[in-house]
Chains A and B, each alone.
Chain A
Amino acid sequence: MKRPTRTEIRGARAAAGFLLPFLALFLFCFIAPIGYALYESVLKTERTGALGLGGETREVWAGFSNYAHALEDDRFTTGFGRVLLFGAVQIPLMIAFATALALLLEAASARWVGFFRTAFFLPYGVPGVIASILWGFLYVPGISPLVELADAAGWEVDFLGRSAVLWSIANIVTWQFTGYNMLVLIAQLKAVPGELYEAARIDGASAWQVARHIKLPLIRPALVLTTVFSLIGTLQLFAEPKVLKPLSNSIDSGYTPNLAAYNEAFTSNNQHIAAAEAVLLALVACVLSFGFLRLVGQRGRDGEDR
């Protein structure tokens, strides 16, 4: 075996030095909380003393009973169904919309590209809570000019009603994130070598054909990336329903899985079940994202084979 040279040792030390801050933060802010959540999720509180008041409180091993409890709670499982429905509708719409905007802005004939790119991207700079408050004002009857306009036109709308409120939330999310996704797609479009377009044009391809057969296949990785981010974001929906909840008569405490876990922890003061719900949520997010990646990965290879 060859002994490492001095330069190699120095190189390794430098690498470790650069990695250490990241690893420390990663451990502290990521691995540790996950470990703590896992730990909390397998415990439960046992109380002694008459009526549980003024007695001793102990944390004891609970096995998977918190998980069972979470899955038995129809509030929690309904919330899951709800965000999945939300994702099935909102993600394709938003990604399609973002792609269309990106292609338009990157088209040769586009004007004022810088202005529009910034304008579309701007909502992403607004924090989710603020965006929800803003839209909240546009949804509340009696205050919202939109509702007033609709009323004047003889059209009765209730943005916060049972059938509409999920899509009112979808609207906020779309408003916020379309520009961001568009920007990711544009970045990938910029990376496409110009010769490809030239070659296509020489071959007589129309703008539409260039978009369909050159641009779209080449930004595929960016499309996959934005979809996975959106998928995870959808499962973690929280701020929007949380802010709209007091305004609406149709958002319950388990409207989304994240909201259910939050309320379990901070209203019911039951951290153990909340931890179990959070772990379940993370698992589902994992399965769905990796499942999606695998799915598109396989299709991608099939495409290359052809």
Chain B
Amino acid sequence: MSASDAQGPGTPRRAVLGGAAAVAAGFALTGCGSDDDGEPEGRKKGEKITLTFWSWVPGIDKPVALWNRRHPEVRVEVEKVSAVDGAQYAKMHAAIKAGKPPDLGQIEYPVVPSFLIDNGLLDLTRYGVAAHKDRFIGWQWQQSVFGKAVYAVPQASGPMGLFLRRDLFDKWAIEPPATWDDYAEAAEAVRRRGAWIETFSATNGNRFAGLAWQAGARWFRTEGDTWVVSLDDEPTRKVADYWDDLVRQKLIKTIPDRQNAWYKDIQTGAMASWLGASWGDALLVGNAPRTAGKWRVAPMPQWEKGGHAHANWGGSTTAVFAGTRYPKDALEFAIWLNTDPDSIALLIENGYGTPGAKKGYATSDLDVHKDFFGGQTYSRVFAEASRGVDTSWRWGPATDTLYQRLGDAFTAAVGNGGSFRSALAKVQGETVWDLKEKGLKAEAG
């Protein structure tokens, strides 16, 4: 499990709701940057040090404990941070501003660039990260490469797939949809039975990005030293119109996903499917245990019959902050955490998505919850999807702001009946504005 907004497997719903209380923690900051630009001195031979690692991944302490047993000189201490509403990044940005960042942090792919404009992350090429490049899946590695610099070590990704209640689809004689046209028909058929096929969660910019990604969108690219934002491109419009239509016809709900009401719908079968990602298995197992054996995973519906376009939702890296005093040791830990077979085994056990490492596990190891999916070797579906992900997709700086803008615009559109398409144009304009406001060069594509 690796998407921050995917609450962990077994995270009780109450804890999720209560997590908002942790928000207040974000206020504790006063700004005074450190002017220490010198090269960190690193660890002396035989010296014992402690590195801090901010993460929210449930069970991350297990591989860390293993590391600590094996490396008594370099102790890593996990500090759990709240992943509700991006609170963990707020805390990291604040810590950078205050000049007291941790040594290591869990950062999702889309958010990596926003730390670069703060000079918050260490360019790992200076410490020999390039030697490890081939141990990771190419496109995941590329997500943290900017220019010649490498800013993070891939941990896991979330190729998307369609989780569905096979028993209900069978009972209602509905075929798992292969194309988006089929999906719309299925939505209607499910609705006739009094259930819903899905919800369009206005505030879930993450998933919407995945849907646009699948359709062939490219939201960000660079031209010279300028960011070009093209949120309002043809593929994204197609996706927006499609979901707009489903919402207008009242074929899908508009409640937020992965919140109490949604969990209830998933538990009762009122919602018969979920467009999720590979880390979603643990989420369903943890929150709807009584539906065990009834779920299956199907590939994401396609825009073209027989197509093989897929997308990614979530996934994160282990990054080293620029303020660390021990860059070499921090990098060594980051590489070990994400490539050591024993570490990977522990990460998989806790459900963390599709590994960024190429080796150190077998695909079948990922079928942790096989029984829940009626014996299906569902990780094959995701492995297949991972191969179909358009690897040219790039994230821009300020993705978290973009998600928020998108969420606001869709919230308004769902509420007052405005078109989703017009929301895209609005958000594109706002994003260009936001980037300029951050002191960057930006234009609409």
Contact = CB atoms under 8 A, between A and B. Distances in A.
A137 B225 CA distance: 49
13 contacts: A46-B439, A47-B117, A52-B397, A54-B123, A54-B147, A54-B149, A133-B17, A142-B261, A246-B84, A246-B85, A246-B256, A267-B85, A267-B404
Interface in B74-112: 84-87, 89-90, 93-94, 97
Contact of A137 (B113, B260, B438): B260
Contacts of B84: 246
Of A162, A247, A269, the most chain B CB neighbours within 10 A belong to A269
B96 to A, nearest CB: 9
Interface in A233-248: 242-243, 245-248
Contact of B86 (A55, A143, A267, A273): A267
Contacts of A269: 89-90, 93, 114, 118, 398, 400-401
Nearest to A272: B437
Contacts of B259: 140, 246-247
A251 B412 CA distance: 9
Assign chain B's interface to a size class: 35 or more
Given A52-B117, A142-B260, A271-B97, A249 B201 contact: yes
A249 B256 contact: yes
A57 B119 contact: yes
B20 A273 contact: no
A242 B90 contact: no
A141 interface: yes
A263 interface: yes
B440 interface: yes
Nearest to B255: A249
Interface of B: 17-18, 20-21, 23-24, 26, 30-31, 84-87, 89-90, 93-94, 97, 113-114, 116-119, 123, 146-147, 149, 201-203, 222, 224-227, 254-256, 259-261, 264-265, 268, 270, 397-398, 400-401, 404, 407-408, 411-412, 414-416, 434, 437-441
B438 A45 contact: yes
A69 interface: yes
A52 B397 CA distance: 9
Nearest to B21: A129
Interface of A: 36, 40, 44-47, 50-55, 57, 69, 75, 129-130, 132-133, 136-137, 140-143, 162, 242-243, 245-254, 262-263, 265-271, 273
A53 B256 contact: no
Given A247-B261, A249-B414, A252-B411, A53 B20 contact: no
Contacts of B222: 51
B439 A44 contact: yes
Contacts of A252: 407-408, 411-412
A246 B118 contact: no
A47 B439 contact: yes
Contacts of A248: 256
Contacts of B264: 141-143
